Amino acid sequence: MPPRPGPYRRPYWDTQPPYRFDPYGSTQLRAPSQPLIALPQSISELTGPTFGPEFVRDGDNDLTAGHGGEPIGERILVTGRVLDENGRPVPHALIEIWQANAAGRYVHKRDQHDAPLDPNFTGDGRTLTDAQGRYQFKTIKPGAYPWRNHHNAWRPQHIHFSLFGNAYATRLVTQMYFPGDPLLAFDPIFNCVPDAKARDRLIATFDWATTSPEYALGYQFDIVLRGRDATPME
């Protein structure tokens, strides 16, 4: 029997946020107060749900389509690769995304921000990475919006990303931000990640190679899921 690969690596120091981050007020009553209990990774953690093409329909990666007309806003292409920490592509991985419209409004009953809804934009997308771990979404650039975390609080423009990877242990939900956004420095959600380089990796890069002439600006956003240690010696 071939040796099994090792466990998924623990996060490198400060590259993941602590649960409790007081500037983000909602953590104060929802963050666990007890330390987590470290669990050796058994078959329960090394397996996880997998999603085939039946979970994604054609066009699910085009958030500008599927309505009566074109959404208002700046059309963009968001592309990148899903890799593990060892630099290996994660192929055929499901990505789910959601975002506000160009005016900074979500199609959601809880969003009461006084900005217009767009009948041609719902703001959800899904795709599977290809054999090289690549993905692409077509969408519009989301708007910034106010929230009630503190006085004059505004979320920087962002897109939510949700991924499973190959195991329960690799589950990740994150947010992609845009380069040059002046709100990033003031956003407690972005800044809950202690390590500055880890924060910077949440910011997409503007990408000429993805930019489509006369059509849409392109952004590159690579996502890294936990990788496995080398096979332990038998």
Interacting residues with other proteins between 47 and 86 (CB under 8 A):
47-51, 55, 83-86
The one catalytic residue in 81, 105, 158, 199 is 158
137 makes contact with other proteins (CB under 8 A): no
- For 54, residues 6+ apart whose C-beta sits below 8 A from its C-beta are none
Is 160 considered catalytic here? yes
Least distance (Å) between residue 74 CB and other proteins = 20
Rounded Cα–Cα distance for residues 143 and 106 (Å): 10
Tokens of 132: 């090289």
Please tell me the number of Cα atoms within 13 Å of 194 on its side-chain side: 11
38 makes contact with other proteins (CB under 8 A): yes
128 makes contact with other proteins (CB under 8 A): no
Is 155 considered catalytic here? yes
- For 90, residues 6+ apart whose C-beta sits below 8 A from its C-beta are 82, 83, 84, 129, 133, 165, 166, 225
Backbone phi, psi, residue 192, to 5°: -70, -15
Rounded Cα–Cα distance for residues 71 and 121 (Å): 5
For other proteins, the binding residue among 93, 184, 204, 225 (CB under 8 A) is 225
The one catalytic residue in 9, 126, 160, 171 is 160
97 makes contact with other proteins (CB under 8 A): yes
84 or 118, CB closer to other proteins? 84
Rounded Cα–Cα distance for residues 67 and 96 (Å): 19
Is 158 considered catalytic here? yes
The one catalytic residue in 24, 106, 135, 177 is 106
- CA-based angle 87:37:200, to the nearest 5? 35
230 makes contact with other proteins (CB under 8 A): no
For the CA atoms of the chain, what is the radius of gyration?
A: 19
Least distance (Å) between residue 125 CB and other proteins = 7
186 makes contact with other proteins (CB under 8 A): no
Least distance (Å) between residue 79 CB and other proteins = 16
Q: Residue 186, SS3?
A: helix
The region of 29-37, 66-74, 178-186, 206-214 touching other proteins under the rule CB under 8 A is 29-37
Least distance (Å) between residue 58 CB and other proteins = 14
17 or 218, CB closer to other proteins? 17
Rounded (10°) CA dihedral 206, 133, 53, 43: -130
The one catalytic residue in 8, 24, 135, 145 is 145
CA-nearest of 131, 170, 132 to 48 is 170
Least distance (Å) between residue 121 CB and other proteins = 11
Residues tagged active-site: 106, 145, 155, 158, 160
